[in-house]
Amino acid sequence: MSEQAPDLGFIHRFSPGRDDSRKPLLLLHGTGGDENDLIPLGQRLSAAAALLSPRGKVLENGMPRYFRRLAEGQFDLDDFSTRTDELAAFVAAARKAYRLPPPIAVGLSNGANIAWSMLLRNPKLLGGAILMRAMMPFDPRPLPDLDGIPILILAGSNDPLIPVDQAALLAALLGEAGADVTYEVVYGGHGLTGDDLSLAGSWLAKNG
Ligand code: MLT
């Protein structure tokens, strides 16, 4: 793990890859997480890939997030756009600094939501995405051309925070934008299960 990560505007961790044929992973934590949270998941999903893991800058009662929300499931849409662009600028700067091809975003909950927002606002920035427990609380049309970009959406059948309908709507919208969407509902709640890990691992073996 790099001890002296350059200041690219976000506190982050970067771990160089050991196999250039594996796409780097951009790890985006959930509310209350930080840059350390998803490193073990990234290492498990794609052992030889480079890992880039920024900490969200917004604090909600001391808990890091990537953008502000007005209430659970109600995004502050102005902040959502601004923070999406700020994170996208970080990803672009990190790609340059660490000489990375477009990474695959691996986002959990709040991290998954900012990941799809980056895809919609900046379709060439990422090489794909795994969106775990993501939601779509508004209509983001008009949609860009996502041109076959591979996306895996993992929803929890009994997620108390995110109705499965919202994940299904997200899958439909990303498909409508031309992405190559795989949508899976696993038996479980908001937290990740063994099924999430195995589905994400096999998807990455093909797309990562
Ligand atoms: C969000 O604000 O991104 C969603 O409510 C998911 C969450 O952070 O719990």
Tally of CB atoms within 10 A around 4 = 5
Q: How far apart are CA 66 and CA 12, in angstroms?
A: 13
Does the annotation count 190 as an active-site position? yes
In the DSSP assignment, the letter for residue 26 is: E
DSSP 133: S
- Alpha helices (H) along 99-163: 110-121
- Sequence-distant (≥ 6) Cβ neighbours of residue 142 within 8 angstroms: none
pLDDT of residue 6: 79
Return d(Cα 139, Cα 157) in angstroms, integer.
22
- Nearest ligand 1 atom to the CA of 133 is 6
Closest-lying ligand 1 atom to the alpha carbon of residue 109: 6
**What is the C-alpha to C-alpha distance for residues 54 and 5, in angstroms, rounded to an integer?**
11
**CATH topology for 12-207?**
Rossmann fold (3.40.50)
Counting ligand 1 atoms within 8 A of each CB, the residue from 28, 113, 166 with the most, and so the one to mutate, is 113
Verify whether ligand 1 is closer than 6 Å to residue 161 (CB atom): yes
Catalytic-role residue among 15, 109, 117, 196: 109
Region of 133 on the Ramachandran plot (φ > 0 left; ψ -120 to 50 alpha; else beta): left
Name the residue type at position 86.
E
CA 181 from centre of chain: 14
Q: Give the pLDDT mean for 29-55.
A: 97
Is 202 one of the annotated active-site residues of the chain? no
pTM: 0.96
At 186, is the pLDDT very low, low, confident or very high (cuts 50, 70, 90)? very high
The candidate with the shortest Cα–Cα distance to 74, out of 63, 54, 60, is 60
Q: What is the pLDDT of residue 7?
A: 82
Asked about 159 being catalytic, the answer comes back as yes
Task: Provide mean pLDDT across the span 34-49.
Answer: 96
Interatomic CA distance for residues 135 and 89, integer angstroms: 23
- What mean pLDDT comes out for the span 173-201? 97
Q: How far is the CA of 4 from the centre of ligand 1 (A)?
A: 30
In the predicted model, what is the mean pLDDT of residues 133-144?
95
